[in-house]
């Protein structure tokens, strides 16, 4: 968990690539649903465009369907979910019914001015959803996705006024989850500043310590 632009998706992608654990991003699932013009996509689109949270019931159904897919049976990384206490409780209950629980929760700690720079420079592939940054993670051919050659775009919700709204939403609804997870003893706040590799190393150390306890 962490504010918009903190680097959650970037880190989750690295963990997926290096550890083979599926990266489950509710934001990416909603963007895919919008692109495919499904009913969920049509319901989520207006909330996302304005930087508001999609209603909990829609999110919960989407996540539970995804977590029941076979590739999530041995573990998963959640990115951008849960974002409210209602979602956190629903997730705890869903996992408990299956004899499972979260192993660890990482908060990406980062000043808002850094987040603003990251979001202004972010570019995304409209076809496969891969994220780039004009300075920190530039594509090989400027403006084109390395994977499929599509022309990169800026996310609509990266417009400055929408980013400010997303930051407000984070402070109001998501930041309170820190106490919930700290009380469970599975929480770590990491500095999300520095290179993506440096942030990865910090999280990797915590993930390894949590995995060692689970064995």
List the interface residues with ligand AP5, window 14-33 (CB under 6 A): 25-27, 30
Smallest separation, CB 212 to ligand AP5 (Å): 26
Q: Does 173 bind ligand AP5 (CB under 6 A)?
A: no
Q: Does 139 bind ligand AP5 (CB under 6 A)?
A: no
Question: How many C-alpha atoms does 138 have within 13 Å on its Cβ side?
Answer: 6
- What tokens does 103 get? 């192993």
- What tokens does 111 get? 């000043």
Phi/psi at 153 (nearest 5 deg)? -130, 170
- What tokens does 8 get? 């959650």
Active site residues: 8, 83, 122, 155, 166
Q: Does 199 bind ligand AP5 (CB under 6 A)?
A: yes
155 prior amide bond cis, ω within 30:
no
Choice from 24, 54, 90, 145 touching ligand AP5 (CB under 6 A): 54
Which of the ranges 68-76, 98-106, 128-136, 181-189 carries the binding residues for ligand AP5, by CB under 6 A?
128-136
Q: Is 20 helix (H, G, I), strand (E, B) or coil?
A: coil
Closest residue to ligand AP5 in the complex (CB) = 27
Which of the ranges 15-23, 35-43, 65-73, 131-139 carries the binding residues for ligand AP5, by CB under 6 A?
131-139
Q: Which residue has the tokens 């998706």?
A: 9
Q: Measured between alpha carbons, how far is 91 from 114 in angstroms, rounded to an integer?
A: 30
Q: How far is CA 180 from the centre of its chain?
A: 18
Q: Does 5 bind ligand AP5 (CB under 6 A)?
A: yes
- What tokens does 202 get? 């910090």
Site residues, ligand AP5 (CB under 6 A): 2, 4-10, 25-27, 30, 47-48, 51-54, 59, 80-81, 83, 87, 118, 121-122, 131-133, 136-137, 157, 166, 195-196, 199
């Amino acid at each position: 968990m962490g504010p918009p632009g903190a680097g959650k998706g970037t880190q989750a992608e690295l963990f997926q690539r290096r550890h083979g654990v599926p990266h489950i991003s509710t934001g990416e699932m909603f963007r895919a649903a919008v692109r495919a013009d499904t009913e969920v996509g049509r319901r989520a689109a207006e909330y996302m465009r304005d930087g508001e949270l999609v209603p909990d019931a829609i999110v919960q159904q989407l996540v539970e369907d995804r977590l029941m897919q076979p590739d999530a049976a041995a573990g998963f990384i959640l990115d951008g979910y849960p974002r409210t206490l209602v979602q956190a409780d629903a997730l705890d209950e869903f996992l408990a019914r299956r004899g499972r629980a979260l192993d660890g929760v990482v908060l990406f700690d980062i000043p808002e001015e850094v987040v603003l720079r990251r979001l202004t420079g972010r570019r995304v592939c409209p076809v496969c959803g891969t994220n780039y940054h004009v300075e920190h993670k530039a594509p090989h051919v400027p403006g084109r996705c390395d994977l499929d050659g599509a022309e990169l775009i800026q996310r609509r919700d990266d417009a400055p006024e929408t980013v400010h709204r997303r930051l407000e939403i984070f402070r109001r609804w998501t930041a309170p989850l820190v106490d919930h997870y700290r009380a469970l003893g599975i929480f770590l706040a990491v500095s999300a500043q520095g290179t993506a590799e440096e942030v990865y190393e910090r999280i990797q150390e915590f993930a390894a310590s949590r995995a060692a306890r689970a064995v």
